[in-house]
Amino acid sequence: MNRDELAAARWFKSTRSDAQNICVEVAFLDSGSVALRDSKDNGQGPVMVFTRDEWSAFIEGAKDGEFD
């Protein structure tokens, strides 16, 4: 992952996000990684980058209630 890849990323947020922009945005990068950022930072804040396996483990954990 490099800055150019993040700059070209297509970010999206959940359709369940509220109108106050209090949510996270996700981008699936060309390298196969998944990037995550806070939407209220208007693209200027930090970005966390995960491997596909890390992202899949997170999603499965959330579905299973692991973080409740």
Residue 34 within any structural domain of the chain: yes
Let me know if residue 68 belongs to a domain: no
Output the six-digit token pair for 50. Answer: 């995960």
CA distance 45 to 54: 21
Q: How many domains does the chain have?
A: 1
DSSP one-letter string for the chain:
--HHHHHT---EE-TT--TT--SEEEEE-TTS-EEEEEGGGTT-S-EEEE-HHHHHHHHHHHHTTTT-
17 belongs to a structural domain: yes
Each residue's pLDDT, cut to its tens digit, for the chain (68 residues) gives 678 898 899 999 877 777 676 788 999 999 999 999 988 887 788 999 999 999 999 999 999 999 98
> What is this structure's pTM?
0.81
Name the residue range of residue 44's domain: 3-63
